[in-house]
């Protein structure tokens, strides 16, 4: 187990944004993760889990408590002909290549998604009409309430567009069993090359968290809506809305989390006031955000209770 005190965690995200975490843990096996959670609960230290950091907006003001990086939980083990056991920290692009060399098909769509398997399961990551739930057989979780290791079949979980019913306040993905198909390596790699070409033509290069918003409706892509509202190329501080794909907010030059939040708010406000459409962030917040910034993750209709603005307790995505 690796522990760093006062760790700058910006480099652990694809946006390259984030302040200092009080503690950074990097377990290398499941039992280490279990011990870490037990220790943090005993000491009453709040914690959050960070995978590949591709879907995370970490506050430039830092994260109080502990951040647990799953990056070292990255094993890939062929259990039988078409079943593969994969650690939650395995990065999807590398995994797709590894499985191709093992003549196993099913993960080609992951070749350009810069996240980890754990995040892919929780968010039901997908591309090219394929989804993580389509290849998922079983998931091994750590139940942080009881400290138990539990295995749940995919049929017992519910998945939707960029979502699942997994309670991330209680469960941490430790590993998963994927059911794949045997195929020739050259056929698999050719499909991956085609996907890569498509992605390179439609998505910007640089530091980003991928799509910043979920599509509000199946027939209304968020990127198209943002483009129609005239936001392409707009910038604030070091953040910039991509000229290539309007649903990408880039860390163009030393952006802070405040810069990203400003652009998110600007886009959300115009979509809501002029179109009546709520754009829900796909990116998740972690760390010390202001009360106003926290509202970016709350639907406008749910922000007012008894004539007062909702106040989210503690830090976004920080649990005890």
What are the DSSP calls for 23-70, one per residue? EEEE-SSHHHHHHHHHHHHHTT--EEEESSSTTEEE-TT-EEEEEEE-
* Residue carrying the six token digits 């990127």: 223
- CB-facing half-sphere around the CA of 281: CA atoms within 13 A: 26
Q: Which pLDDT does position 304 carry in this prediction?
A: 63
Q: Count the Cβ atoms, other than its own, within 10 Å of residue 167.
A: 12
- Tokens 């790699």 locate to 189
> Residue 107's domain is classified under what CATH number?
3.30.465.10
Residue 39: count other Cβ atoms within 10 Å of its Cβ.
Answer: 13
**Structure-block tokens of residue 276:** 């009546």
134 with 60, same domain: the answer is: no
Same domain, 285 and 235: yes
How far apart are the C-alpha atoms of 126 and 130, rounded to whole Å? 5
Total Cβ atoms within 10 A of residue 105: 21
Residue 76 has pLDDT above 70, yes or no: yes
Contact 211, 248 (CB under 8 A): yes
In a domain, 208, yes or no: no
Number of domains in the chain: 3
Q: pLDDT grade, residue 162 (50/70/90)?
A: confident
Look at residue 1 in the predicted model and tell me its pLDDT: 60
**Which of 315 and 257 is assigned the larger pLDDT?**
257
Domain range spanning residue 152? 76-202
- Please report whether residue 102 resides in a domain: yes
CATH code of the domain covering residue 50: 3.30.43.10
Residues 6+ apart with CB under 8 A from 59: 18, 19, 257, 285, 286, 287, 288, 289, 315
Residue-level pLDDT at 310:
38
Q: Quick one: pLDDT band at residue 307, thresholds 50, 70, 90?
A: very low
Q: In this structure, are residues 125 and 211 in contact, taking their beta carbons and an 8 Å threshold?
A: no
Which residue intervals of 113-231 are DSSP H helices? 117-123, 185-202, 222-228
Answer whether residue 313 shows pLDDT above 90. no
pLDDT of 180 above 50: yes
Q: Which residue has the higher pLDDT, 309 or 122?
A: 122
Predicted model pTM: 0.89
- Other C-beta atoms closer than 10 Å to the C-beta of 309 total 12
pLDDT at 241 over 90: yes
Judge whether residue 120 has pLDDT over 50: yes
Confidence of residue 200 (pLDDT cuts 50, 70, 90): confident
What's the confidence (pLDDT) of residue 83? Answer: 97
Given a cut of 60, whether residue 225 has pLDDT beyond it is: yes
Sorted by sequence, the CB contacts under 8 Å of residue 210 that are 6+ apart come out as: 14, 54, 55, 113, 114, 248, 282, 283
**Does pLDDT of 135 surpass 50?**
yes
Residue among 112, 100, 79 at smallest CA distance from 183: 100
Quote the CA–CA distance of 240 and 237 in Å, as a whole number. Answer: 8
Let me know: does 249 contact 208? Beta carbons within 8 Å. Answer: yes
Per-residue pLDDT tens digits for 136-159:
999 999 999 999 999 999 999 999
Question: What is the per-residue pLDDT for 31?
Answer: 96
Give the count of alpha carbons within 13 A of 6, CB side only. 0
pLDDT classification of 317: cutoffs 50, 70, 90: very low
- Residues 189 and 253 grouped into a single domain: no
**CA 206, CA 209: separation in Å to the nearest integer?**
10
Q: Which of residues 40, 69, 98 is at a domain's end?
A: 69
């Amino acid at each position: 187990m690796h522990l760093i005190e006062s760790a700058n965690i910006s480099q652990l995200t694809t946006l390259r944004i984030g302040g200092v975490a009080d503690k950074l843990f990097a377990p290398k096996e499941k039992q280490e993760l279990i011990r870490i959670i037990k220790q943090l609960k005993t000491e009453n230290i709040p914690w959050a889990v960070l995978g590949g950091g591709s879907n995370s907006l970490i506050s430039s003001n830092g994260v109080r408590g502990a951040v647990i990086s799953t990056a070292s939980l990255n094993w890939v083990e062929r259990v039988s002909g078409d079943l593969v056991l994969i650690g939650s920290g395995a990065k999807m692009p590398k995994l797709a290549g590894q499985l191709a060399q093992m003549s196993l098909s099913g993960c080609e769509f992951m070749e350009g998604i810069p996240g980890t398997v754990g995040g892919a399961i929780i968010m039901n990551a997908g591309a090219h009409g394929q989804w993580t739930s389509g290849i998922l057989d079983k998931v091994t979780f750590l139940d942080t309430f009881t400290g138990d290791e539990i295995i749940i079949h995919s049929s017992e979980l519910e998945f939707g567009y960029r979502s699942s019913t997994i309670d991330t306040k209680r469960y941490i993905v430790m590993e998963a069993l994927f059911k794949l198909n045997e195929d020739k390596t050259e056929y698999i790699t050719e499909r991956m090359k085609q996907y890569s070409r498509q992605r390179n033509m439609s998505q910007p290069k640089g530091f980003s968290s991928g799509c910043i918003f979920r599509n509000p409706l199946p027939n209304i892509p968020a990127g198209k809506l943002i483009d129609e509202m005239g936001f392409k190329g707009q910038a604030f501080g070091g953040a910039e809305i991509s000229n290539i794909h309007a649903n990408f907010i880039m860390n163009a030059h030393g952006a802070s989390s405040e810069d990203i939040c400003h652009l998110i708010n600007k886009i959300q406000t115009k979509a809501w006031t002029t179109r009546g459409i709520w754009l829900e962030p796909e990116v998740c917040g972690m760390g010390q955000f202001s009360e106003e910034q926290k509202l970016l993750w709350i639907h406008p209709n749910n922000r007012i209770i008894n004539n007062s603005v909702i106040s989210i307790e503690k830090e976004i995505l920080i649990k005890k």
